Amino acid sequence: MYLSRLYLNERNRQAANDLRSAYSLHQTLRWAFPNAGDVPGPLPDGERLLWRNDDEQGILVQSASRPDWNAISERNHDYFRDVQVKPFDLSGLQTGQQLAFRLRANVTVNRFRDGQDKETDRRTKREALRGAVEQVAWLERQGRDKGFSLIGTDIAQSGNVRLYKARGSTPMTLFAVTFEGLLQVEDPAQLARTVQNGIGKAKALGFGLLSLARG
- pLDDT tens figures, 152-170: 999 987 777 767 665 666 6
| pLDDT tens-digit series, residues 100-136 | 999 999 998 766 555 545 555 455 566 888 889 999 9
Higher pLDDT, 46 or 198: 198
* Residue 37: pLDDT over 70: no
pTM of this prediction? 0.86
Bond preceding residue 67 cis, omega within 30 of 0: no
Alpha-carbon Rg for the chain in angstroms: 18
User: How confident is the prediction for the chain on average, in pLDDT?
Assistant: 87
The matching CATH number, chosen from 2.20.70.10, 3.40.50.970, 3.30.70.1210, 2.60.120.650, for 98-214 is 3.30.70.1210
The matching CATH number, chosen from 3.20.80.10, 3.40.50.300, 3.30.420.10, 3.30.70.1200, for 2-87 is 3.30.70.1200
Report residue 61 CA to chain centroid gap. Answer: 9
Alpha helical stretches, state H, 76-131: none
* Helical (H) or strand (E) element with 98: strand 98-106
Closest to 194 in 3D by CA, of 171, 212, 182: 212
